[in-house]
Amino acid sequence: MIRRNPTFSKLKGSYLFPEIEKRKAAYLSSHPGAELLNFGIGDTTLPLPKVVAEAMARRALEMGGIDSYAGYGPSEGLLELRTSVVRAFYDASFTEEEVFISDGAKSEIGRLQLLLGQGLRVAVQDPVYPVFVDANILSGTRDMVLLPCLPENGFFPDLKPAVGCDVIYFCSPHNPTGVACSFEQLETLVSFAKENGLLIIYDSAYASFVSQGGFPRSIYEVPGAKEVAIEVGSFSKLAGFTGVRLGWTVVPKELQYVDGGAILPDFRRLIHTVFNGPSRISQEGGLAALTREGMQGIEKNITTYLENASLIKRGMEAMGAKVYGGKASPYVWALFEGRRSWDLFEELLNDFQMVTIPGRGFGPSGEGFVRLSSFCMREDALKIGRIILNN
């Protein structure tokens, strides 16, 4: 038999979110009938806009018709959808050839490892979306540099420790702290990447929660970013597609390897090799989401989630936490000074039936924090207030 891929032994025992599910299940089995307030994994709860659900239903039915059935689509995704993505998010500043429709940001991060190859030095924000760390460990990254994002630095890291790295993963609005970068901060990031020859993998999964001027929704709002960044976008949190699976990736034609060769043809070659494009049904949903009616439904849902975030923030403040995020992001990042995250997680679960995510699960700089997701039911967000009043 084959030997085990040695990189598996470098991973932590279990991935963060299944571990939370395991602890939730253990609580429920010892407290049958308990009703948990769910602020854990960032999983959307509001229904899809009607126009989106109808478009997918229609396409599914068409797949049952002799004249309307269709098999494989382009690996890069439907041309119409790539056009819509460029118009909706990039002010038409890319060609369709530079945009690839994916089945979501998480699987795309996995595929990107094949583009980047082994033996790299990689920098990540700390705390960090665990996929960046685990996917890199699995693909044989040589070295990983953690860049602390703390209240003391406004959650924007000192980039100097990343000198000598090949790649920097950057997420804004940031999962898990919920803090969005300003234009000046992203300018700093882009200049740093240029000066030091780093590729930025920019995760914009939460961009649709940003509405304040001076806080970009895309890294490409910063001049020169096309020369240093790949942007990974997602319909999951934008349009409630966590269960539908759809995203996109932008690989600008300006992006080059150290020898001056273009990265775009290699990425296309990779996608042709390991991916057949997302389902036609989900792509039809994506097209509907980007229509005027779809966008109206999306904005309504985002407003509701941001209202939930504000209720959660008030509740956590009343519990004595210092609270960050939740304004341009669905995540609230609550600090209980002097406490340990996993203890807080257990205490909130046992005493208040609240499911959160321990900040330590996202990296050492998350110690003392818990993350609360506002992709919850409104009733759960309101209950935080009632809990505080009753205690």
- Site residues (CB under 6 A) for ligand MLT? 41-42, 106, 129, 175
Does the N-terminal peptide bond of residue 173 adopt cis geometry, omega within 30 degrees of 0?
yes
* Shortest Å, Cβ 106 to ligand MLT: 5
* Shortest Å, Cβ 42 to ligand MLT: 3
User: In sequence order, which residues have a C-beta less than 8 Å from that of residue 218 and are 6 or more positions away?
Assistant: 89, 90, 204, 207, 231
* Shortest Å, Cβ 362 to ligand MLT: 8
Q: Give kind and range of the element (H or E) at residue 251.
A: none
Q: In 3D, which of 151, 175, 147 has the Cα closest to residue 162? A: 147
* Shortest Å, Cβ 41 to ligand MLT: 4
Strands (E), the chain: 37-38, 99-102, 121-126, 143-148, 167-171, 199-203, 229-234, 247-250, 322-325, 331-335, 354-355, 357-358, 369-373
* Shortest Å, Cβ 53 to ligand MLT: 21
Beta carbon nearer to ligand MLT, 42 or 157? 42
Beta carbon nearer to ligand MLT, 94 or 248? 248
Nearest residue to ligand MLT, by Cβ distance, number only: 42
What is the spatial distance between Cα 353 and Cα 36, in angstroms, rounded to a whole number?
Answer: 5
Task: Judge whether 297 and 49 are in contact, CB under 8 Å.
Answer: yes
Tokens of 346: 């257990």
Beta carbon nearer to ligand MLT, 176 or 285? 176
* Shortest Å, Cβ 175 to ligand MLT: 5
Task: Give the full edge-to-edge strand order of the sheet including 331-335.
Answer: 322-325, 331-335, 369-373, 357-358
Beta carbon nearer to ligand MLT, 41 or 270? 41
Beta carbon nearer to ligand MLT, 94 or 375? 375
Beta carbon nearer to ligand MLT, 205 or 290? 205
* Shortest Å, Cβ 326 to ligand MLT: 14
Task: Judge whether 102 and 78 are in contact, CB under 8 Å.
Answer: no
Beta carbon nearer to ligand MLT, 156 or 241? 241
